[in-house]
Structure 1
Amino acid sequence: MAFKVNIKLLLHLTLLTICFSCTEKKKALKTKEETKVGSVYSMQPFSGNLPEVNADEKKKLQQTIQHFYDKIYVPNHFSGSFLVAKNGHIIYEKYCGMANFEENDTITATSPLHIASLSKVLTATATLLLIDSKKIALDQKVNTILTDFPYEDITVRTLLNHRSGLRNYSYFTDKNNVWNKRDTLHNSDLIPFIIKNNIELEFKPDSRFSYCNTNYAFLALIIEKITKMDYHTAMQKLIFDPLKMNNTYVFDLKRDGKTASQSYKGNKIKYAHNYLDDIYGDKNIYSTPRDLLKFDMATYNPAFLNKKLLNEVFKGYSYESRGTRNYGLGIRMFEWEDGKKMFYHNGWWHGSTSAYIKLKDEKATLICISNKYTRSTYKLKFLSSLFGDYPFEMKGKDETLE
């Protein structure tokens, strides 16, 4: 009798387990569906509970970072934003200078600054969301999406990893004054201009690496074509809004030219806008370190991208020449012989410079954005050695960084 009761109990528990499993699967599917914009997955915030650095270690890190900041940025009269975080928790941040020197508009934690080519990381992410949503394929030819695109063998992947062979739009529109610089250049002008002027490729697609802004201007057009939204709206709905990046937006020259933070030379002379200032995808995203930290942490969410696609993002594609630098899908990297990698992206447009470092193994995030020209922005990489075994040496108080 007892044996029969146990069998019944076992069957009952099995049924409960099956039902629970089905319920959890339905919840997971529902959650994924709720992250869609139309039929495209949008990003989800990181929902994990990662520990903060303990108080003693945090104090030591803050002292070292403060010394670094005083040594590198203060002498350059830095104007911008600076943040270092671990596991999504801010260890150190600093905001100084002016978003607009003429109007004494002070830079704060909520002041969006032009992140220049760091915008490529976000454009690549939107493209990857389209791929993960099966709206396009990574190795799909661009001319099957943008039907008037004149090059046969360029794929989405070769746009993402800068192996397309495209020429830089800032050069071929400037050559021989073929573009009237009184007219603002737009993304939509690129294909007609290329066809009209018979602009040839620099090299055969996927034969070598050449960093080129044109790649990302075309990725922005792909995003628009597939989402049926303008790039500004698509980025807002796919990335900025879901992650509550409330101080991040895509710049529009007519709308934001006078109100956005300005860009300056090292001597505080303001850069005037020119005919290239309305091209987006490769640049023209304004953001803050806190918002970019939200983005960085969201890339650790298991629902960010499928595992196979994620592996494609963080691997190098260009090995034609020896060296430690490489490029993945929308991210730069150092690759060392011991297998260690460091992921990053820098930016520079007019007087604005930016640096974003993603230490995946340690879940550390380093961000620096300046709106007054300085190359010291890129020295941020020296702080990576505080979190892991990275070959960038922090010198003593009386020594310079090399």
Structure 2
Amino acid sequence: MIILKRTVFLSVVLSIVIIACQSGREKVNARPSLGLPPIEMGAIQLSYSDTNSPEWKVIARRLDSFYRIQERAGFNGSVLVGYQGKILYEKYIGYSNKRENIPLSSDNAVQLASTSKTFTGAAILYLHQNKYLDIDHPVAQYIKDFPYPDITVRMLLNHRSGLPDYGHFVPLYRKSKDFISNDEVLRIMAQHKPHQEFKTNTRFKYCNTNYLILASIIEEVTEMSFDAFMQQYIFKPLGMTHTFVYTADKQLPSSATISYQGGYVPFPLDFRDGVYGDKNIYSTVEDMYRWDQSFYSNKFLSNETLELAYGPCSFERPGIKNYGLGWRMLCYPDGYKIIYHNGWWHGNNTCFYRFIKDNFTIIVLGNKHSNAIYRQPPVVYNLIKNTEAVGQFDDGAE
């Protein structure tokens, strides 16, 4: 048994209380706020991976207790915990479609928001791996009339391009509030050359424009639509049967979840919903676990390419947080890495945490807006790892 330090125990307790409180008072349209002191995460080796073992059943009850608290506080979504290729815990809470009284299930795909970037980035690296493009070549080599000659494909992947967010500059040059396409954004950039926020490759700044352009590069290089490439080379080969790219010319399937504000008010769409690459991939926790596991078996990317993807790229600010090529990461002083990506778009909040050295994964997909979702993975991690702590959170339910 693991002896839990008092500081970690108190941190877990505090986080559960804070998550419950945050969920109950969420502001509509609030951006994810991660300003709370983080719970420490790191290596995890489980001796109780057998879900039928008495020890795991105790932990599963504690996770159920935690998620009953989250449900009462307003959480609507799905969660999956996997270890070395096996699903240890899976939970569905709330509704896919509240109006039709359709409960959320394993068949209901959720808008991944920025977690979609893991697919866009990996697709670019696949093309690089197979020598269809070179990430160190200028973007202008692949996108006609791209007006920034110094920006390379790599600088889009690691958010060091200096480009402004299209959500900010498009309204300056376009009065229509209808969906805008990737091609139209690129035409606006070619015509007006929006001012860069900083000199290319001098610092990191997360920017959705980068991944819009990457999706368009995929289309130019492959002569396929982004949707068709993803289906043919990723989703179908990996058995991701409930995963798809949403584009403006399509109607969402009935199995897709509705994106909700507080009180189950559907989120209205806006012009940015026509753009893909930065977002607009829908998936389920089970399909995302298939995506996660594909990297361990090299079904899509080689180990050499994965090392490239997982390499931190920005060092202007000290700390453990960094960004690689399509992935956020926590790089600890002892060399341990957690590879992850969160997402937020309309009412969709997503977390995809990968403890790659231990093949341990936490996935949370929510379709009813709540910043508190981003605090769930550290608590789930601690409830699983620190077996002495979990008993403190049993609400009495068997």
How would you bin the TM-score normalised by the shorter chain?
Answer: 0.7 to 0.9
Shift in Å, 1:159: 0.7
Q: Is the 8 A contact 1:187 1:217 kept in 2?
A: yes
Q: Return the TM-score normalized by structure 2.
A: 0.81
Q: Which amino acid aligns with 2:361?
A: T
Instruction: Write out aligned runs for 1:23-102 (5 A).
Output: 53-54=49-50, 55-71=53-69, 73-102=70-99
Q: Is the 8 A contact 1:364 1:387 kept in 2?
A: no
Q: Return the TM-score normalized by structure 1.
A: 0.80
Shift in Å, 1:335: 1.4
Distance in 1 separating the partners of 2:59 and 2:215 = 39
Q: Is the 8 A contact 1:150 1:191 kept in 2?
A: no
Shift in Å, 1:254: 3.6
Structure 1 equivalent of residue 225 of structure 2: 230
Shift in Å, 1:66: 2.0
Inter-CA distance 257–53: structure 2 relative to 1 (3 Å threshold): closer
Structure 2 equivalent of residue 34 of structure 1: none
Structure 2 alignment gaps of length 5 or more: 1-46
Structure 1 alignment gaps of length 5 or more: 1-50
Structure 1 equivalent of residue 333 of structure 2: 337
Shift in Å, 1:148: 1.5
Q: Which amino acid aligns with 1:188?
A: D
Structure 1 equivalent of residue 142 of structure 2: 145
Structure 1 equivalent of residue 198 of structure 2: 203
2:297 to 290, 301, 309: 301
Structure 2 equivalent of residue 174 of structure 1: 171
For 1:173, what is the secondary structure of its paired residue?
Answer: helix
1:307-339 Cα offsets, whole Å, 9 max, x none, are 332211112111101122110111111112222
Shift in Å, 1:361: 1.4
Structure 2 equivalent of residue 118 of structure 1: 115
Distance in 1 separating the partners of 2:299 and 2:95 = 38
Distance in 1 separating the partners of 2:293 and 2:299 = 12
Distance in 2 separating the partners of 1:217 and 1:98 = 30
Distance in 1 separating the partners of 2:356 and 2:75 = 28
Q: Which amino acid aligns with 2:274?
A: D
Distance in 2 separating the partners of 1:194 and 1:361 = 41
1:287-310 Cα offsets, whole Å, 9 max, x none, are 000001001000111454333322
Q: Which has the larger radius of gyration?
A: 1
Structure 1 equivalent of residue 106 of structure 2: 109
Q: Which amino acid aligns with 1:267?
A: G
For 1:191, what is the secondary structure of its paired residue?
Answer: helix
Say how many residue pairs are matched.
343
1:331-353 Cα offsets, whole Å, 9 max, x none, are 11111222222111100001111
Distance in 2 separating the partners of 1:291 and 1:134 = 28
Q: Which amino acid aligns with 2:372?
A: S
Q: Is the 8 A contact 1:79 1:96 kept in 2?
A: yes
Inter-CA distance 198–305: structure 2 relative to 1 (3 Å threshold): closer
Shift in Å, 1:92: 0.9
Distance in 1 separating the partners of 2:262 and 2:85 = 32
1:211-244 Cα offsets, whole Å, 9 max, x none, are 0000100010011111111111111011000001
Instruction: Write out aligned runs for 1:150-161 (5 A).
Output: 150-161=147-158
For the aligned residue pairs, the C-alpha RMSD in angstroms reads 2.2
Distance in 2 separating the partners of 1:53 and 1:395 = 18
Q: Which amino acid aligns with 1:264?
A: Y
Q: Is the 8 A contact 1:362 1:387 kept in 2?
A: no
Q: Does 1:321 align with 2:317?
A: yes
Q: Which amino acid aligns with 1:368?
A: V
Shift in Å, 1:77: 2.3
Q: Does 1:219 align with 2:214?
A: yes
Shift in Å, 1:52: 8.3
Q: Report % sequence identity.
A: 37
Q: Does 1:288 align with 2:280?
A: no
Inter-CA distance 245–258: structure 2 relative to 1 (3 Å threshold): closer
Distance in 2 separating the partners of 1:361 and 1:258 = 37
Q: Which has the higher contact order (CA 8 A, sep 6+)?
A: 2
Distance in 1 separating the partners of 2:290 and 2:203 = 34
Inter-CA distance 310–287: structure 2 relative to 1 (3 Å threshold): same
1:229-287 Cα offsets, whole Å, 9 max, x none, are 11111110110000010000001234225744221112211111111111000000010
Distance in 1 separating the partners of 2:137 and 2:54 = 51
Shift in Å, 1:183: 2.8
